[in-house]
Amino acid sequence: MKFSDLPQPRALPFSGHLQRWGGAPLALIEEGARLGPLFGLNLGLNTVVGYSPAWNKRLLSDLTAFRSAGSFSAVVPYLAGGIILTDAPGHAPRRQQLNPGFGKQHLDTLQDRLRSALSAHNARFLKSEFDALAWADGAVLSMLNAAYFSGDFPAELLHAFLAPLRSPFPTPAWPRPLLFARVDAELRRLAERRLHGGGDDLLALLARLPGGVREARISLAAGHDTTTHTLAWAAWALAEHPEWHAPQTHKAVIKELLRLYPPGWMGSRRLSEDTEFGGVTLPKGALALYSPYLSGRDPALWERPGEFRPQRWLKGFKPPAWSYLPFGGGERLCLGMHLAHLMLDLALASLPPLRAVRGDPTPRPGVTLGPAGPLVVRAG
C-alpha cells in the first residue's frame, strides 16, 4: 500500500489539515485514530501518525530511519539543539555522557537543595486559596534552579526565559536572540565558577562536557513546562479527589495523569529513507509522529480509558510494552525522567489537604499539553 492510500481525517480545501492542526489538534488526531492505528495527515509535509505498540517500538528504536533532525523540535528555538537534535550514531555516546548527572544516585545528593527551595516557594505562595497552575510553575522553577544551579541563577531571568514556552503557538517558535544571549552569558558565568571552584549540581557536571552549557539551556526548557503541567494537573486531581491525597497513592495519581494528559502529547521524527511499516511504504522526508496521548487512551489497550482511575496502577500493574510512553522510550527516553519524578514527589508531598474551588483543566496542546487554567484550590 502507498502512503496516499492511508486513511485520513476530514481535510479542508486548500489547507489540508494545517488549519485544523493549528486550531484543535486533539480533535483532529482523535478523529484520525478512529480510522485506524496508522493514518495520514497533510501538514504541508506528508505526515503519518501511529499509536500502536508496534509503531511506537519501531519509531523509537529505529534511529537510522526515524531522525530527530527536521522534526518539530527543530522549529522551536528552545529545543532545537543539543541532545534533542543529535541523531545516531552520535546520540548514544552523548547520552552516556549526560545520563549519570540525571540518574537517581546523583539526584539523591541534590534532594535537600530541592526540598528547601520548595519550602521557600511554598512559604511565599501557599495561601488559603491559590491557583495550582501558578503554584506549580513557581515550584518547578525553584526546584530546577536548585538542581541545576544550587539556586544561584537569577530567578527573574529564569522565569523570563521559560515563560514563553507555555504560550500557544507561534509564540514559543519566535527567535529571542537577546534573551537567549543573556541566559547563555549567565550560564557561562556560573559554569566558569564551578569549573574553578568545584560543585556538584547539574551545571557543575554539564560544565565539564563540550557543549555542556547549551545542554543545560536546552534540557531546562525540556523540563520546565512538562513537569509544571503534570504537577498542576496532579494538584487539581488531589483537590477534586482528596481520597487520593496520601504519600502512598501519589505515584499512582501521577502515572494516571501522565496517561491521560502526557505533556509530550506528540513526538516527531523525519524519515531519512523510504520505510516499510505494516505493509505501507512511507516516503523519505515524511514527518512521522507517535502520540503518547493516543496510545494512553486506546480502548484496545486500556479499560475505561477516558476515566481518571489511579487504582489501575496499584498492585504492580504493568501496561503492555510500548503502550505507555509519557517519557518516550528506547534510546531517546526522557533524560529528565528521574528528576521529573523527584520534583513531582516532593511537591505533592508538600501540599496541604486541598479542595477544588473553580478551574478549567481542559487540555490545551502547545509545545506541550497543559491545562487551560486557572485551577483555583483551597487549602485545608
In the complex, which residues of this chain contact ligand HEM (CB under 6 A)? 83-84, 95, 102, 219, 222-223, 226-227, 230, 262-264, 267, 326-328, 332, 334-336, 339-340
Instruction: Report the nearest approach of ligand HEM to the CB of residue 254 (Å).
Output: 8
Instruction: Report the nearest approach of ligand HEM to the CB of residue 13 (Å).
Output: 32
Q: Which residues pair with 110 in a beta bridge?
A: none
Nearer to ligand HEM, 46 or 219 (CB): 219
Instruction: Report the nearest approach of ligand HEM to the CB of residue 69 (Å).
Output: 12
Nearer to ligand HEM, 102 or 130 (CB): 102
Instruction: Report the nearest approach of ligand HEM to the CB of residue 264 (Å).
Output: 3
Nearer to ligand HEM, 76 or 335 (CB): 335
Grid cell for residue 87: 541523531
Instruction: Report the nearest approach of ligand HEM to the CB of residue 140 (Å).
Output: 8
- Whether the CB-CB separation of 101 and 202 falls below 8 Å is answered with yes
In the bound state, the residue with its beta carbon closest to ligand HEM is 336
Instruction: Report the nearest approach of ligand HEM to the CB of residue 328 (Å).
Output: 3
Helix 155-162 with 132-149: angle, nearest 10 deg: 120
Nearer to ligand HEM, 8 or 256 (CB): 256
- Whether the CB-CB separation of 140 and 343 falls below 8 Å is answered with yes
Instruction: Report the nearest approach of ligand HEM to the CB of residue 279 (Å).
Output: 25
Nearer to ligand HEM, 40 or 329 (CB): 329
Alpha-carbon distance 147 to 237, whole Å? 26
**Residue 141 contacts by C-beta under 8 Å, 6 or more apart in sequence?**
155, 158, 159, 162, 224
Grid cell for residue 174: 519566535
Nearer to ligand HEM, 67 or 245 (CB): 67
Pairing of strands 46-50, 287-290: parallel
Q: Is 358 exposed, middle or buried (0-12, 13-18, 19+ CB in 10 A)?
A: exposed
Sign of the Cα pseudo-torsion (103, 343, 297, 26, in order): negative
Nearer to ligand HEM, 8 or 59 (CB): 59
Alpha-carbon distance 328 to 128, whole Å? 37
Nearer to ligand HEM, 84 or 132 (CB): 84
Instruction: Report the nearest approach of ligand HEM to the CB of residue 339 (Å).
Output: 4
| H helix runs in the chain, sequence order | 18-23, 25-35, 53-61, 91-98, 104-125, 132-149, 155-162, 177-197, 202-207, 212-240, 250-260, 292-296, 337-349
Q: Is the peptide bond before 374 cis (omega within 30 degrees of 0)?
A: yes
Nearer to ligand HEM, 146 or 222 (CB): 222
Pairing of strands 354-359, 375-379: antiparallel
In order, the DSSP letters of 51-112 are -SHHHHHHHHH-TTTEESTTSGGGGSTTTSSGGGGPPTTTHHHHHHHHGGGGSHHHHHHHHH
Instruction: Report the nearest approach of ligand HEM to the CB of residue 81 (Å).
Output: 10
